[in-house]
Amino acid sequence: ELTENMTRRWSFYMDFLPVVVIIGNECIDMGLLTLFKAATLQGMNNHVFIAYAYAVGTSVLLPVTLFTRRSRVVPPISFSIIWKSVLLGALGCTSQILGYIGISYSSPTLASAIGNLIPAFTFMLAVTFRMEKLSAKSRSSNAKVMGSIISIAGAFVLTFYKGPPILQSSYTHISSPIHQPVEFLKSVDSSWAIAGVLLTVDYFMGSIWYILQVKLVL
């Protein structure tokens, strides 16, 4: 009985762990976007910020790969693996550049909202590459289709309609350090639609990036 309870708990943890990891990843991602907005308002170039981000990521992840125990045999390095790795790196870097340019035209709030397009784009690409089966009689497929339509419609609304500012303009003239964190949460440019298009392209390329990673691993 004790073994059965431990097995159930382990199964629950394994089912719940991916949800926690995804939520944590989204929080870190939005924190990075907010940090980027704050840095660019202080005069940092977006390309310099990306270079710093990649440098920090490499310094943290490279030692992990050297000391992590591998659970399976690693295939020998071939031209195909190198080409796919270069393609993934170029695609990821390009999407980040487009996304950061879009944030510089808008705000992290818009980027966070349009980020909901990633599941929709990933689902459509998975269906296109026959990694996902689409059936009109399946409740799961219908739910995914409806969710994709709703997320895309919401992204269009956010892109082409910018409502009145919640924060009053009087805050923009206050240079007190207490009010400075509020500044980068607002849009500093009127090109809201351009930012929406750039962010949409960014997240579409991110979806392709996820699909290619699956293809590379498998």
Instruction: Output b/e per residue, 136-168; b: 16+ Cβ within 10 A.
Output: eeeeebeebbeebeebbeebeebbeeeeeeeee
**Structural tokens at position 43:** 């005069």
Q: How confident is the model at residue 165 (pLDDT cuts 50, 70, 90)?
A: low
- Sign of the dihedral defined by the CA atoms of residues 141, 143, 145, 147, in that order: negative
- Going by pLDDT thresholds of 50, 70 and 90, the confidence category of residue 176 is very low
Tell me the average pLDDT across 182-199: 63
Q: Give the Cβ contact number of residue 203 at 10 Å.
A: 26
Higher-pLDDT residue of 27 and 8 is 27
Find out whether 196 and 158 touch, Cβ atoms under 8 Å.
yes
Residues 6 or more apart in contact with residue 88 via CB below 8 angstroms: 209, 212, 213, 216
Instruction: Note the pTM of the prediction, 2 decimals.
Output: 0.69
Residue 131's pLDDT band (boundaries 50, 70, 90)? confident
Average pLDDT over residues 157-180: 52
DSSP state of 74: P
On the question of pLDDT at 99 being above 80, the answer is yes
Average pLDDT in the 35-62 region? 84
Q: Quick one: pLDDT band at residue 186, thresholds 50, 70, 90?
A: very low
The ranges assigned to domains in the chain are 2-66+77-217
Is there a contact between 101 and 110 (Cβ–Cβ < 8 Å)?
A: no
* pLDDT at res. 183: 46
> Which pLDDT does position 162 carry in this prediction?
59
